[in-house]
Chains A and B, each alone.
Chain A
Amino acid sequence: MFSKIIVPVDLTHADRLSRALEVAGKLAKLYDAPIVYVGVSPNVPTEVAHSPAEFEAKLAAFAEAEAAAHGVAASAHAFFSHDPAIDLDEALPKLVKELGGDLVVMASHVPGFLDRLWHSHGATLAGHTDASIFLVR
């Protein structure tokens, strides 16, 4: 049913992703679809990495570990943005299209008051892509 699964990951909060990662791994196995783990980072040093190269390496290692854990094929895709806090909503639909994903599995939070002002990334993505979206709370 699905040929490529995109999983946006925030390496800063990798501990909060476990449920989404689990779901993605199981679906990948079920449909025999490869996963692309997408990481978005600013190009200045962050708590995750000192440089874009280090970020790419960490993301690749993360993808490799996930692939081994779930027994599926996986790759990593790093995206660098000048202003990720804002650019993410615009970048995600583009990335899904460019990478040829037809299912996006992502962790999301329970909507609160602020979501009335700012949509969650998952909700915005659903409105801007053809792919199916699976939000895991």
Chain B
Amino acid sequence: MSVDAAPESSIPAPEGEVALIETDYSIGQDNVQPRLGPIGLDIHNPVFVVSALVIVAFVIIGALFAGSIDPYFEALRNWLTSNFDWFFLIAGNVFVLVCVVLIVTPLGAVRLGGKDATPDYSYIGWFSMLFAAGMGIGLMFFGVSEPISHFTSSLGGVAVEDGVRTDWAPLGAAVGDADAARRLGMAATIFHWGLHPWAIYAVVALALALFSFNKGLPLTIRSMFYPIFGERIWGWPGHIVDILAVLATLFGLATSLGLGAQQAAGGLNFVFGVPAGLDTQLVLIVIITAMALISVLRGLDGGVKVLSEINMGLAALLLLFVLLVGPTLSILSGFGANLVAYAKEVVPLSMPFGRADDNFRQGWTSFYWAWWISWSPFVGMFIARVSRGRTVREFVIAVLIVPAIVSVLWMTVFGGTAITLINQAGLTEIADAALELKLFVMLEGLPLSAVTSLVGVVLVIVFFVTSSDSGSLVIDTITAGGKVDAPVSQRVFWCTFEGLVAMVLLVGGGLAALQAMAVSTGFPFAIVLLLACYSIIRGLMDEPR
């Protein structure tokens, strides 16, 4: 009796020595299999039910009290990011340091999925998925606007009222010096999109991949706390972590879908003169959700992976276009200069104490860190699922360095071009335009803007579809207790539910409030992730290298 060798169409069965965790818990043991009419489900009992009920409750509250609760949620978020800015900054630095340790120590030699495992995806498919899940859509909105904001505030210099700084410039600003302001502005932007956010994702993804692929625990957030809580993770401590992850992911996705629809409608209005009213926004959500549903039904390889590769291809074309028709030389020299500026400023920018730039540190950096952390269960879980077969070192370098360099390139090309257009061609309307329109206003300053703007709108939509699709897969897996082969109707439910939540919030109001709440979950998750760093090191030390 022998097992046949895997044929070509199969993923090679990656194996080898691993340090499995011996537990009596069997995956799916807390699952229930109810039937709703013709639809059979396979769901984790408290996690699915509690998450769904809490989401419905929050949507109803958000819509009923729209306008009146917004200030409370926003105050909560501001209170957290302003009072705990030091904590977010320290946590961010810890994540980067842990990643560096994993790259340089022998722990990096451990292979995810066992000693003899081979990677599931090629580098291109892998990078495309990492990137599209990680920040794709944000780069579309902030690629032009953020460098301009920091450049403008740095150029404006420090303003002090009653002994408190009222300007939003990073560090000590660069009053009146356009070149220095440009360097500082680019360094600050890259800081927010570079090593730190990717270190956050890397920690979550690595913890999940390690405890699932090497330790044999279910692919769900609670598994990464096994070294700390032991068997208790199967009870309420684990339920709470999983439910929080589902809420953060769904609220994050639904609110960014709602706000994104407003922005995309703004873009369509600017480019094609389509009315940007509520009707257009709702139609956009329906289109995005329908496309995401098709993709969900095509599975991981036929759906998300294909979409991510389309995204990367289109984004690369747009990038190349702006690079070639924009100020090519200035962009090329800017790339090196921006990397140097980032290297020079990254330490001062990540200092949690002894700084005077309160607005920048609390309003930008701390907010971003909370935001990235609240996204990390979603992005981390997705990255984990597609990273089997990589060594820890390869994984961390790929998740940390490659996307960070692509972000530098993107910011240099889009932000740098915009700053050059403002400085040299006097296109100040880029700086004056609304956030979501800055990209399109900049493209208008370059040739063939009708074509490039269309590519821009398509990119925004496809990035949303990708997020909605991968988010549904992640939520479905968590609410199915770590099963990735639960009935397909469940991911259809989550994908549709997310679109519905976005539409209800768009019509009834409450988008801003719920987004503020989603970002607020960054605070408890930051604590959770610090614990995960300990789990990773402990877990890796047991692995055969």
Contacts and interface: CB of A to CB of B under 8 A. Distances in A.
Say whether A associates with B: yes
Contacts of B6: 78-80
Given A45-B27, A67-B1, A53 B15 contact: yes
Contacts of A67: 1
A46 B486 CA distance: 11
A77 interface: yes
Interface of B: 1-4, 6-11, 13-15, 18, 20, 26-29, 37-39, 113-114, 120, 212-213, 216-219, 297-303, 385-386, 388, 482-489
A15 interface: no
A112 B38 contact: yes
Contact of A86 (B8, B14, B15, B488): B488
20 contacts: A36-B4, A44-B219, A45-B213, A45-B217, A45-B219, A51-B114, A53-B15, A59-B3, A75-B4, A77-B4, A80-B6, A80-B10, A80-B11, A81-B10, A82-B386, A83-B301, A94-B9, A99-B4, A114-B38, A114-B39
A83 B485 CA distance: 7
Most buried by A among B10, B29, B212, B297: B10
Nearest to A46: B27
B299 A86 contact: yes
A85 interface: yes
B9 A98 contact: yes
A74 B2 CA distance: 9
Contacts of B487: 85
Contacts of B1: 60, 63-64, 67, 74-76
B120 A43 contact: yes
Nearest to B1: A64
Contacts of A80: 6, 10-11, 13
Most buried by B among A46, A50, A59: A50
Contacts, number: 128
Given A59-B3, A85-B485, A85-B487, A52 B14 contact: yes
A22 B403 CA distance: 54
B9 A45 contact: no
A72 interface: no
B412 to A, nearest CB: 35
A125 to B, nearest CB: 15
Contact of A47 (B120, B298, B385, B483): B483
Contact of A42 (B2, B28, B301, B485): B485
Contacts of B297: 86
Contacts of A74: 1
B3 A50 contact: no
A51 B489 CA distance: 26
B11 A81 contact: yes
Contacts of A54: 216
A45 B212 contact: yes
A83 B3 CA distance: 22
Contacts of A85: 299, 484-488
A87 B488 CA distance: 11
Contacts of A46: 27-28, 483, 485
Q: Across chains A and B, which 4 residue pairs bring their CB atoms closest together, nearest first?
A: A50-B216, A86-B299, A83-B300, A113-B38
Nearest to B489: A114
B27 A52 contact: no
